[in-house]
Structure 1
Amino acid sequence: MHAYRSHTCADLTKANVGDTIRLSGWVHRVRDHGGVLFIDLRDHYGVTQILADEDSPVFAEVEKLRSEYCIRIDGKVLARDDSLVNPKLPTGEIEVFIQDMEVLGAAQELPLMVFGDQEYPEETRLRYRYLDLRREEMQRNITLRSDVIASMRKRMWDQGFREYQTPIITASSPEGARDFLVPSRLHPGKFYALPQAPQLFKQLIMVSGFDKYFQIAPCFRDEDPRADRSPTDFYQLDLEMSFVEQQDIFDTIQPVIQGVFEEFGGGRKVDTTWEQISYADSALWYGTDKPDLRNPIKMQVVSEHFAGSGFAIFAKLLEQDGTEIRAIPAPGGGSRKFCDRMNAFAQKEGLPGMGYIFWRDGDNGMEAAGPLAKNIGPERTEAIRQQLGLGVGDAAFFLGGKPESFERVAGKARTVIGEELGLTDMDRFAFAWIVDFPMYENDEETGDIDFSHNPFSMPQNLDDLDGDPLAVLGYQYDLACNGYELISGAIRNHKREVMFRVFEKAGYGQDEVLKRFGGLATAFQYGAPPHGGCAAGIDRIVMLLADEANIREVMMFPMNQRAEDLMMDAPSEPTNEQLRELSLRVIEQPKD
């Protein structure tokens, strides 16, 4: 017999009754029934109930077992009484009488329990992650992640892609986040960077004549943490193709992503028709560039109904350039209680409030109610109702000003309204391509022109580069699903002279471009093909499939929200010898 097991803890069935077997695993739970000890023995595959009574030769040793002891047992498979069968377990028809036992690894008092549904602080869970990972939910999530990646690889190979590996130590490049820098020992004073993405290399792979590339790529970004974003590293399905247009990328990646969601979505509906929505329309209708289309609410501009109206706040606002009034329809939200609650929501988000109108049955038929309705009168109110397609029992909420001042809150309000009124289909995955992104934006701090998306994208119209940079659109696209960005990509700029023009608009002269991206710029002189691609965030995809709200629940060893690894004590202070080798000196920062 094998030194540790003849079966896993998920293998044994009624067909094994009478067999002598060997199992190894962890003590999941111990139950003392007065002279009979029942133990749930757990391994990665499942749970088997084992037992010992006073007739067992190792009963005294079994009595000493505690939760999470790692043990090996030899025993005889017995059939459970019909009344004691556990239909929830594959092994629920049998149990194993312990005849011999060896403790493979004793366990001290546990800082967190593996059995049960107790909640523990995230810091405790991450410090003792190896215990946290033993829990059933975490085993399921991490296994799901592995299966999703395997499925992605197979689907990519089936479409004629090959996987190529790109460097992990490279040069710094602007990808929209901070680099992790790595000091060079051989070149004092110089630094490598961990790649924020394989962007430049995958473009060079296309220039090298490889037609299709993909990689399950680790990416490193020194970012502020969020629930749906790791502060240090993440993995993405990265792909690139030559001689393609934007639609070719969409047609290639949709069956991969859709197939993964159908395979692992647990029976939830997966949309097969993926809309293409312009960035401008997405901001207008949904208040975000990653809309949740499970929610049917679309915001609309209703400025004309408030211009010159009796509601002075909106009327005066519309006299200023660049302002507008938007309405958020709320079917079924036609009660003063709900409207007041949403008004309070807007105030918590930092706005003065959110105007509203709701429609109800009156003495003479349907009537509009609320402060706005009184101020603008029945004719304007009726025009708003008809534009929004609302009726009795419905409401509408209004926000005004320059869109950038209220768009974020409007998007959040739309989400809250959809969920509270039961309009959002929670049992569905809804996808949309967001297209026609602006190439440039104004930096919030300096006001300077900067890239708003990927700087290596191709402008849609080269003539636009001679005009207002904020009007330049790129062949850039994101895939949104249920309010999250899952994919980002672009048709790449493959022309050297266009590359210089694009970067010049953002304040990078030709010398600076050659200094930072000389390898790519030089390669473009030697017959670069048109190419494009995208990258899908694996961690976020698995988070959605696992129905988790926090990305750390689907990562094996994540950092905490301060980008610290509590288990491995990272980041740590270097030794003086390490600093000398790297020609570095640490300057202590003044304490606050």
Structure 2
Amino acid sequence: MGEALNGLKRSIMCGDVREEHIGKKITVMGWVQRRRNLGGLEFVDLRDREGILQIVFGDKINAEAFEKASKIKPEYCVAVTGEVVKRESVNPNMPTGMVEVKGESLKILSESDTPPIDIKENAETAENLRLKYRYLDLRRPDMQNIFKIRSKVSKAIRDYLESTGFLEVETPMLTKSTPEGARDYLVPSRNYPGMFYALPQSPQLFKQLLMVSGFDKYFQIVKCFRDEDLRANRQPEFTQVDLEMSFVEQDDVMALSEGLIAHVFKEVAGVDVKLPIKRMTFKEAMEKYGSDKPDLRFGMEITDITEAVKTSDFKVFKGAIEDGGSVRALCLKGGATMGRKDIDRLGEFVKTYKAKGLAWIQLKEEGIKSPIAKFLSEDEMNAIVSTMNAETGDLILIVADKNKVVFQSLGALRLDLAKKFDLIKDKNEFNFTWITEFPVFEWSDEENRYMACHHPFTAPMDEDIDIIESDKEHARAKAYDLVLNGEELGGGSIRIHNMELQERMLRALGFNEEDAWKKFGFLLQAFKFGPPPHGGLAFGLDRMIMFLAGTENIKDVIAFPKNQNAFCYLTEAPNIVDEKQLNELGIGVLPKENK
């Protein structure tokens, strides 16, 4: 049973009580963290969102309150009234550690069963239990701090964008399924049997339509949905900071975005982001780091050694070069001490990225040790070492293959070695970079065709407009991603605002005129009515919070997340609905074996 408040009002949060409140009578409310009996006194740590406050109950303070306090247990929800006094035993590790409250009255507002998870900072609890009892997991001080940060970030974003002339506009959650993205979440329509809405993967087309509408500057902190196989730090529903601007070019959008990021990081974390943020082309990023989201907190760049071995008869190198690929390498400083088994494991690692193998050269005190030494002349070996700027004690790791395979395997290996050898010295560093000049198209082995690298509405660079149909491999886009510590923080582009060019782009992606108008007709129709040049960007809000909160788990920054299989342990969604609901929608569910 629980007592009612009966008009009792909380006067201050537990975590806000300080020395200036000594001598004042206050009322606090919260949850019991723990209770201790010491020499006829009951000490209770009371917790709310702002922190923990010690309450002391005693027979001489108030006998009735003391009697009640002896029966309370962890996570009981209570209200306490009493005088703030100076603690005899100061706790310098608590913000409220100089004071305590003499409990003069105690109301037990509700009782609690023994919690199935530990409610304390950094508790090591199985993730499925944390998600099942998420409302308890969220009581933990470290979790509540994350959501304070999230709230501050959202406010800082709104403050900055509104101060720079942006309007916050909501776009529909029930919209049309359009191709060229991830798989949509579909919502059946009762009014239109057999037809479906789609939940938005992003507000992309609507924000472009808002530019056609003359809104000039739009933003939205918006939920987006993608029905895809979840990798680490992906959720089926996520939040992005979406913005769009009219009458702008690429530099305008990037400058505005830099200002927004600098404002948020300063306001929330006290971090000064150095502006302007450095830029790197997609081509340079791939060649140096094997990734379009390079982690620049450490060196160890990929080096092209094709020239050094171009005349080699070693069939692995020769075959890769003749096939239009390249031979590239990493130099791990001090890596020559690595044992053969550990190097072999690196070889197995790169094979998961489709590399055929990993050649290696150890520069030991007694000389060069390498399984490929017998296939290379002394001059060729020396040329490799010289090109790599390698020294005695170093380890050279080489992949020869098509460029795509070389980049993705060495790029992944570079990150793996950074973790193994602790190459990132300042874990608190925020290292930003822009990646520009992305390809317009990327080849999909799964689809066996070129697809849009970003989306079909991204404008090609002016000098590449004429090759979007004839030379898809080399066409570059007015697209840009902001990368932070090896993660994409946001991405955007200048959009196509010319209907003829948009139709050409869709043709290049395999849409005939009928299909293009069927799928995107509402946008193409709008482009008949004086669309302005426009561009924008979307930041991943969840990922931004992860950086600012110092967590590597995206589930920590989402109040009620799904697991890696997009299942909610808390509500057990998705779940079966009753036959009546299905009949209203005209939907039948096939038996599993018939799917």
Is 2:17 the counterpart of 1:15? no
Distance 1:201 1:266 in 2: 35
Contact 1:14 1:79 in 2 (8 A): yes
Q: Which residue number in structure 2 is paired with residue 323 of structure 1?
A: 325
Aligned to 1:291: 294
**Is the 1:286–1:299 Cα contact (8 Å) retained in structure 2?**
yes
- The letter for the 2-side match of 1:125 is R
Question: Which secondary structure does the structure 2 equivalent of 1:450 belong to?
Answer: strand
Whole-angstrom CA distance in 2 between matches of 1:116 and 1:10: 15
Amino acid at match of 2:401: G
- Displacement after TM superposition at 1:342 (Å): 4.0
Which moved further from structure 2: 374-383 or 63-72? Answer: 374-383
Pick one of 16, 25, 29 that aligns with 2:30. Answer: 25
- Which residue does 1:532 correspond to in 2? 535
1:97 alignment counterpart: 102
- TM superposition shift of 1:23: 1.2
1:182 aligns with 2:182: no
Structure 1 residues 579-588 or 498-507, which shifts more? 579-588
Letter in 2 for 1:237: V
Counterpart Cα distance in 2 of 1:440 and 1:310: 35
Choose 411-420 or 240-249, whichever is displaced more.
411-420
State the distance in 2 between where 1:138 and 1:123 align.
16
1:516 lines up with 2:519 in the alignment: yes
Q: After superposition, what is the alpha-carbon deviation per residue over 1:311-336, rounded to whole angstroms, capped at 9, x for unaligned? A: 44323443x31221111122333324
What residue identity is the alignment partner of 1:110?
P
CA distance in 2 between counterparts of 1:390 and 1:316 reads: 25
Counterpart residue number, 1:467? 470
- Asked whether the 8 Å contact 1:10–1:47 carries over to 2, the reply is yes
Per the alignment, residue 418 of structure 1 pairs with: 418
Identify the residue that residue 80 of structure 1 maps to in structure 2: 87
Give the match for residue 149 of structure 1.
154
- How far apart are residue 382 of structure 1 and its match? 2.9
AA in 1 matched with 2:331: P
Match of 1:408 in 2: 408
Give the 3-state SS of the residue equivalent to 1:428 in structure 2. coil
**CA–CA distance in structure 2, aligned partners of residues 451 and 352 of structure 1:** 28
The answer for the alignment partner of 1:47 in structure 2 is 52
Change (3 A) 1:312 1:322: closer
- Of the candidates 185, 193, 211, which is equivalent to residue 206 of structure 1? 211
Q: What is the alpha-carbon root mean square deviation over aligned residues?
A: 2.2
Structure 2 counterpart SS, 1:417: helix
Consecutive unaligned residues of structure 2, counting only runs of 5 or more, are 1-5
Cα separation, 2, equivalents of 1:570 and 1:556: 15
Aligned to 1:239: 243
Partner of 1:584: 587
| 1:264 alignment partner in structure 2 | 268
Deviates more, 1:284-293 or 1:307-316: 307-316
User: In the superposition, relative to structure 1, how do residues 498 and 198 fare at CA in structure 2: closer, same or farther (>3 Å)?
Assistant: same
Structure 1 residue 441: Cα displacement: 2.6
Residue number in structure 1 paired with 2:3 = none
SS of the equivalent of 1:371 reads: coil
- Residue 561 in structure 1 maps to residue 561 in structure 2: no
Moved more, 124-133 or 433-442: 433-442
1:398 is paired with a residue of what secondary structure?
strand
SS in 1 for 2:15: coil
**2:299 matched to 1:335?**
no
Instruction: Find the aligned partners of 1:381 and 1:567 in 2 and give their Cα distance.
Output: 60
Superposed CA deviations along residues 92-151 of structure 1, whole A, max 9, x for unmatched, are 111112121111111012111203543111111111110000001110111111111111
Relative to structure 1, is the Cα distance of residues 484 and 19 closer, same or farther in structure 2, using a 3 angstrom cutoff?
A: same
Q: 1:377 to 1:368 in 2, by over 3 A?
A: farther
Indicate the SS of the match to 1:334.
helix
2:83 maps to a residue whose letter is K
Contact 1:29–1:115 (CA<8 Å) still a contact in 2?
A: no
Deviates more, 1:340-349 or 1:432-441: 340-349
The alignment partner of 1:10 has SS state of helix
Distance 2:270 2:333 in 1: 30
Q: Kindly provide the amino acid, as one letter, of the partner of residue 409 in structure 1.
A: S
Q: How high is the TM-score relative to the length of structure 1? A: 0.93
Q: Which residue of 1 aligns with 2:78?
A: 71
Q: Structure 2 CA distance, aligned partners of 1:446 and 1:173?
A: 17
CA distance in 2, matches of 1:155, 1:389: 46
Q: Which letter maps to 1:70?
A: C
The residue matched to 1:229 in structure 2 has which SS? coil
Partner of 2:439: 438
Percent identity for Structure 1 against Structure 2? 38
Residue 336 of structure 2 aligns to a residue whose secondary structure is: coil
Q: What is the CA–CA distance in structure 2 between the aligned matches of 1:119 and 1:261, rounded to whole Å?
A: 29
127, 132, 136: which one aligns with 2:141: 136
CA displacement at 1:191 relative to structure 2 = 1.0
Shifted more, 518-527 versus 352-361: the winner is: 352-361
Question: Corresponding residue for 1:248?
Answer: 252
Change (3 A) 1:492 1:124: same
Contact 2:350–2:410 (8 Å) recurs in 1: no
Name which of structure 1's ranges 103-112 and 117-126 shifts more when overlaid on structure 2: 117-126
Cross-structure match for 1:389: 389
Greater mean deviation of Cα atoms: 578-587 or 535-544:
578-587
- Displacement of 1:452 after TM fit? 2.4
Shift of 1:39: 1.1
- Partner Cα distance (2:263, 2:299) in 1: 24
Tell me whether 1:306 sits opposite 2:309 in the alignment.
yes
SS in 1 for 2:593: coil
User: Equivalent residue of 1:238, what SS?
Assistant: strand
Which amino acid is the alignment partner of residue 385 of structure 1? V
TM-aligned CA deviation for residue 543 of structure 1: 0.8
Equivalent AA in structure 1 for residue 253 of structure 2: I
Partners in 2 of 1:223 and 1:266 — Cα distance? Answer: 36
The Cα offsets for residues 369-426 of structure 1, whole Å up to 9 and x where unpaired, read as 4334554244333322332333233332111111233432211211122344443242
> Residues 273 and 383 (structure 1 numbering): CA distance in 2 closer, same or farther, change over 3 Å?
farther
Using the alignment, how far apart are the partners of 1:317 and 1:116 within structure 2?
53
Residue 70 of structure 1: how far off its partner (Å):
0.3
Corresponding position of 1:357: 361
Match of 2:458 in 1: 457
Cα distance in 1 for partners of 2:594, 2:82 equals 62
Q: CA contact under 8 A between 1:438 and 1:452: conserved in structure 2?
A: yes
Aligned residue type for 2:332: A
Please give the alpha-carbon distance, in whole angstroms, between the structure 1 residues aligned to 2:520 and 2:320: 46
The unaligned stretches of length 5 or more in structure 1 are: none
Distance change >3 Å, CA 262–CA 416, structure 1 → 2: farther
Point out the more displaced range, 373-382 or 6-15.
Answer: 373-382
Q: Partner letter of residue 521 of structure 1?
A: L
CA distance in 2, matches of 1:242, 1:163: 15
Paired with 1:262 and 1:197, the residues of 2 have a C-alpha distance of: 28
Whole-Å Cα distance in 2 between the matches of residues 179 and 155 of structure 1?
Answer: 32
Partner Cα distance (1:565, 1:428) in 2:
34
- 1:563 is displaced (CA, Å) by 1.0
Conservation of the 8 A alpha-carbon contact between 1:271 and 1:430:
no
Which deviates more from structure 2 when the two are superposed, residues 558-567 or residues 258-267?
258-267
Indicate the SS of the match to 2:312. Answer: coil
Q: Which residue of 1 aligns with 2:544?
A: 541
Contact 1:333 1:421 in 2 (8 A): no
In structure 1, C-alpha distance between the alignment counterparts of 2:81 and 2:91, rounded to whole Å: 22
Structure 1 window deviating more from structure 2 (396-405 vs 243-252): it is 396-405
**Contact kept in structure 1, 2:350 and 2:358, CA below 8 Å:** no
**Number of equivalences:** 582
Contact 1:305 1:384 in 2 (8 A): yes
In the alignment, residue 573 of structure 1 is paired with which amino acid? I
Cα pair distance change 1:19/1:243, threshold 3 Å: closer
